[in-house]
Amino acid sequence: MKILTAILSFFFLSSLKAQEKQKDTLFFNYDNKYINTYAELPSHFYLDDSSGGSNGSFFFKKGEIKNNLNPKKILSLKKFVHSSEFYEKKKKLKDEKLAAFFSNYVIFLVKNIDEKKEYIQVESGFEIE
């Protein structure tokens, strides 16, 4: 009976894992003019047009660094954000909504270092100071 329970548990758990939706992956060029880092939080990447202060700030948190990926397309982060529903024409970013949107994706920032590409996996976040 214990063996049967173990086998059924295994199949149940593996079927749950198979039902998890795999996230799509987005690759963005690391743009030094649009992405800001600060000495106090070197593992956070802030966008130039993030609201900041008491309104809250969107950021990416640095994760794993990979080297040998082959993305089909590398997008401009600035163009992507500015053409999205999360950016108002008054040059205001809807930081919290952008963070929620990006949380549904696996995101990589692609940085060129000495003619090599470094793929920095990041997670989106939102914080209020």
Q: pTM above 0.85? A: no
Q: What is the pLDDT of residues 76-128, one digit of tens each?
A: 999 999 999 988 877 788 999 999 999 999 999 999 988 889 999 999 999 88
The residues spanned by each domain of the chain are 21-127
Helices (H) and strands (E) in the chain, counts: 3, 9
Within its chain, how far is the Cα of 59 from the centroid? 9
The torsion angles phi and psi of 69, rounded to 5 degrees, stand at: -105, 155
